[in-house]
Structure 1
Amino acid sequence: MNDLFQNPLCRPFDFPGSSQHGVLLVHGFTATPGTMLPLGKALAQCGFRVKGILLPGHGTNAEDMELRRWPEWLAAVQAGFDQLVSECGRVSVAGLSMGGTLALLLAQTRPVYRAAVLCAALRVRNRASRAARILWPVMRYHTQAPFSYDGEFLAQYNACYDRTPVRSVAELNALMRHTLHGLKGVRCPLLVVRAGQDETVLPVSAEIIMNRAASTHKRLLTLLNSPHVCTLGPERERLFAEIAHFFGSP
């Protein structure tokens, strides 16, 4: 069992920048802000005001996560957005995996300037996860062997739990359903990023967003050689440049 309390890469981060344009960064399921930190640094160097949040139940331990519900994750994202709005003229958001799902839901409830959704989780590869609501009373945790990546992957930033609370998977499923049903309410410009080597989220997730979101300005970017955590993968520099360009002036 791992405990992430003491890992500095698992903590929220803030970078000062322009009072005109803030960017909120949201990590994924069982992960931590470290997965978004290289992106945050790149955007800060471009002049953006950047805030990377820690979702409730993350960056601690699996027992803590098991107690959390998806509305708490959304509330944390909304609170982070509201804080940036109080400091900046406009606020964009970038989310990875479940963070991308939350970014889409945020865009349904807040005046998001632009949203970059990276490997947003709407359809996942693990079919057994669909039964989490039935399984969690008898199967508390699921353990999976970690994926191995080549030297181009920034593994030290990828701190996450070594086991997943099955009840939390049920919460993720509920979040995905809720987000799917409201996609027509997403009207801000969208950069939808799909990873060609995604081992977690099905590529159809990106197609669903492109087809259902009401945004008139939508762009699909495919990173052919990137894994699910594309912010740490071999095409990360291209990804960071594309996001900065999409967000526009700091």
Structure 2
Amino acid sequence: MVAVLKGAEPFSLQGSDVGVLVLHGFTGSTQSIRYLGEELHSRFGFTVSAPRLPGHGTSPDDMETTGYLDWMGEAERALNELAQGKRKVFVTGLSMGGTLSLNLAARHPGLVDAIAPIAAPAGHLTEAFAEALALNPPPKRIPGIGSDIKAPGVKELAYDETPMACLREVSVLISLTADLLPRIACPTLVVHAREDHLVPPTNPTAIVNAIRADDIRLLWLNNSYHVATLDNDKDLIVERVGGFFTEMARV
């Protein structure tokens, strides 16, 4: 059995009959969304589930054996488990976790009542990301992409190396999800930092323009970078996401 890094463990918190699925990002771990999940539980009373996606929170070697179908499959498993006996189910996630929240909302409209993707890539990649995918011959690994954080002294628990095979896998997930955006009809709060060095700010605009929900909101963060759930605006995210889900739970 592969050892899980300390702080990267999945967690669940029992609360009300309203469930929130919280998903971490690519090469990251539940450490990046633990504060958000715990605050959504303690301050708003939600039942929270935060799975560890396959190949994450272990090692790059382990991650190399996984792909987007594994990550999506675990998110779906956690969604179905959380939905049992719940009156409402919401999904939020950071980065690739935000992409997965969009994907789940598009493919499982009967299960997902509202979403709040945070720093989610939805088709628009950074120049560095695109250049890495175009390298020929492709390297086996490229430098890690974690810890794009403005707050001094804060570090994300993420890999120092990114398996190239997994970078290709996440690019497929992003592309497939971008194609599914017009199928999203549930209330959506899109959260994104104005200065994000991994996911360009063209992404939230693309999401807002593509989905067909009647209730679409966009929250720009002015004091954070990509890993916003660990950054200076983390409490603002809790307040706005928690408030949004509380409002949607009353509908």
After superposition, what is the alpha-carbon deviation per residue over 1:157-215, rounded to whole angstroms, capped at 9, x for unaligned? x2010000011110011001100111011111000011122111000000000000111
- 5 Å-filtered alignment, 1:85-234, equals 85-110=83-108, 111-122=111-122, 123-129=124-130, 132=133, 135=136, 138-144=138-144, 149=149, 151=151, 154-155=154-155, 158-234=156-232
Q: Tell me the equivalent position of 2:5.
A: 7
Per-residue deviation, 1:6: 4.9
Query: In structure 2, the residue corresponding to 1:39 is in which secondary structure?
Result: helix
Q: CA 1:229/1:127 → structure 2, altered by over 3 Å: closer, same or farther?
A: same
Q: CA 1:202/1:112 → structure 2, altered by over 3 Å: closer, same or farther?
A: same
Q: CA 1:7/1:182 → structure 2, altered by over 3 Å: closer, same or farther?
A: same
Question: 1:129–1:169: 8 Å Cα contact kept in structure 2?
Answer: no
Over aligned residue pairs, what C-alpha RMSD do you find? 2.0
Code of the residue aligned with 1:196 in structure 2: it is R
Consecutive unaligned residues of structure 1, counting only runs of 5 or more, are none
Aligned mate of 1:25, from 17, 22, 32? 22
Q: CA 1:214/1:67 → structure 2, altered by over 3 Å: closer, same or farther?
A: same
TM-score (normalizing by structure 1): 0.90
Per-residue deviation, 1:126: 3.7
TM-score (normalizing by structure 2): 0.90
Moved over 2 A (4+): 4-8, 126-135, 144-155
Q: CA 1:54/1:133 → structure 2, altered by over 3 Å: closer, same or farther?
A: farther
Per-residue deviation, 1:90: 1.4
Q: Tell me the equivalent position of 1:76.
A: 74
Query: In structure 2, the residue corresponding to 1:228 is in which secondary structure?
Result: coil
Per-residue deviation, 1:235: 1.2
- 5 Å-filtered alignment, 1:233-244, equals 233-244=231-242
Consecutive unaligned residues of structure 2, counting only runs of 5 or more, are none
After superposition, what is the alpha-carbon deviation per residue over 1:54-101, rounded to whole angstroms, capped at 9, x for unaligned? 111101110111121211111111110000111312110001101100
Q: Tell me the equivalent position of 2:244.
A: 246
How many residues are matched? 243
Identity across matched positions, percent: 32
Distance 2:102 2:73 in 1: 13
Code of the residue aligned with 1:143 in structure 2: it is P
Query: In structure 1, the residue corresponding to 2:159 is in which secondary structure?
Result: coil
